[in-house]
Amino acid sequence: MAKLLWAKFKESFTTVLPIIIIVLALTLTVAPMPFYSTVLFLLSAMMMILGITLFNLGVDVSLMPIGEHVGSGLVKSKNLKLIVILTFVIATFISIAEPDLHVLAGQVNGIPASIIIFAVSVGVGIALVGAFLRILFQVRLATILTFCYILAFILSGFTSKNFLSIAWESGAVTTGPIMVPFVMALGLGLASVRGDKTTEEDSFGLVAFCLIGPILTMLILGLFFEPSGGSVLAIPDLFSLGDIVRLYLANFPAFFGQVALALLPILLLFIVFQFVSLRLRKKTLLKILIGTIYTYLGLVFFLTSVNVGFMPAGYQLGGLLITNTPPWALILIGLATGYFVVAAEPAVFVLKEQVEDITDGAISGRTMGIGLSIGVAVSVGLSMFRILTETSLLFIVIPGYIIALLLALIVPPLFTAIAFDSGAVASGPLTATFLLPLAMGACETIGGNIFTDAFGIVALVALTPVLTIQGFGLVYRIKAKRAEKENIIPVAEDSIILYDKEEEFPK
């Protein structure tokens, strides 16, 4: 356990470190924050690292095994109706516990956070049921995704203008550190229902469904609700270390209760399965209990540090950058931040290795990493450009996904599956907790509308891996055709990408 804890700590530290360096560099040069605001940010960053470490450890020890056991229990029932109903319930409960979703919902003024969390969670539940039925009836992934995105484009024309960017944002924040590993674990069990040679290949696409499902339900919600006012973020007045301590003590109790309510449905469902069908041994149950405690404490530390220190720092920096630098500097800083943030994302390392393996070296991990970093940098830069020019998110999202869907007709199906599943890779915990507040601070300082101009940054960051991997898939196809003429045919094995673990299951 100690080795695993140390490994998770290194992952968390590597993830947060680029933001720490960037914030300190900006604070010491063009955007000086008050001393105690900087201290609050650094303390919050340290607590965030601790929170992500405990949370990721808990996911491995507790939530992943729960997902695997529940998934296998569902499969053993052989009851299609029961599987569909419980898949919906499980996916909904898991989504409710997703930390990034709570961060997003808390930043939307004028609409209760509970309504947004419920709408997104229902979307995930419906999406996972759709993914399971696709596996069962062997419907082509690209066909369903094309239909879903066309429907999203149509709904975008009717949804409230102020709600549009929030809706497209919701899919990316849902596919986070709880959802992705749990869905992949559950999906392995569900895919085995067919029990034929397509089992492993069919496990792809689960995360892709969970990305588009919430977007559709939120676009529908936007027909009835509209955000109002400005940002809910506020910069605390700090004059001493005592003020920082009091700020944390005042916020901790609320998040202890909030996280307990978020995790309770998952635990209750697992307890029901334990008594009805699983009947796991006491040693296994004790391990899951300890992992659940890690998850709980990690979520409390993460959400408290994000809300108390991390998001206010991003918001404050955004305003200072607009005030102290020319407009083009905001775009350059966005480019640099996007490049280094995704480069340090642990899940990206796994993705790079997997793509190199399945292409038999035709696409190197280094090339893949540079491509993803440049893509995300462009996404963040475009987000800052949108703030300065008030450009609609749809002008970027619609062409982007149309290109991705057209490429799906050309590239090997494996690349399409990986590409749409990997939208969750780049949009890690720092995108919603730092980059979005940074955009909001810059937007409000110049008098813009945060709902139309600042929101959408997570959606653009999630779009990048889809286009990047589809692009590499096109390159691979060209190389394969060339090699075929030379009678040297590279073979791409079907592999399952697990974003939380460095594991591969060759077909």
**CA 64 – CA 291 distance, rounded (Å):** 10
Q: Is residue 262 included in any domain, yes or no? A: yes
Measure the CA–CA gap between 391 and 405, rounded to whole angstroms.
23
- Structural domain includes residue 504: no
Domain membership of residue 494 (yes or no) is no
Quick one: which of 70, 195, 68, 88 has its CA closest to 132?
Answer: 88
Asked if residues 443 and 450 have their Cβ atoms less than 8 Å apart, the reply is yes
* Among 122, 86, 96, 136, CA closest to 276: 86
CA-to-CA separations, 486 to 143, 410, 479, 482, in angstroms, rounded: 33, 21, 11, 7
* pLDDT number for residue 501: 44
The pLDDT, as a whole number, for residue 411 is 86
Distance CA 414, CA 357 (A): 13
Question: Quick check: is 310 in a domain?
Answer: yes
At 486 the three-state DSSP class reads coil
Sign of CA dihedral 490, 496, 501, 504: negative
Domain span at residue 234 reads: 2-40+48-485
Ranges of residues in the chain whose predicted pLDDT is under 50: 197, 199-200, 493-507
Average pLDDT along the chain: 83
Q: Judge whether 115 lies within some domain.
A: yes
| pTM reported for the whole predicted model | 0.85
CA 68/CA 185 separation, integer angstroms: 5
- How far out from the chain centre does Cα 127 lie? 16
Residue pair 280/23 in contact (Cβ under 8 Å)? The answer is: no
Q: Tell me if 20 is assigned to some domain.
A: yes
| Number of structural domains found in the chain | 1
Tell me whether residue 490 is in a domain: no
Does a structural domain hold residue 293?
A: yes
- Angstrom distance (rounded) from CA 384 to CA 388: 7
Q: What is the pLDDT of residues 122-164, one digit of tens each?
A: 999 998 888 888 877 778 888 888 999 999 999 999 998 899 9
